[in-house]
Amino acid sequence: MVWWKFRSCPRCDGDMFIDRDQYGWYEHCIQCGHIGDLVKRAALGQQLAYSTRERRRRVGTSKQGKVASDG
């Protein structure tokens, strides 16, 4: 199964498709031929989500921006 991402190529703003082969998930631009590995992007997204959760926990706010109470 192939997914399309329109105008999302970092090199030429072309259309990319996401697919999987024997080595894993990748994205490929049909205009310029740029190929990117999606494992790196997934790891970066998980790292950003983790740092956001940690920052909220340290500050003591919930997702709605209210201050958490201890009692």
Per-residue pLDDT of the chain (71 residues; tens, 9 = 90+): 678 889 989 999 999 999 988 988 899 999 999 999 887 665 666 666 666 667 677 666 555 555 555 55
* Alpha-carbon gap, residue 7 to 69, rounded angstroms: 45
Q: What is the pTM of this model?
A: 0.52
What is the DSSP code (8-state) at residue 37?
E
Q: How far apart are CA 68 and CA 58, in angstroms?
A: 11
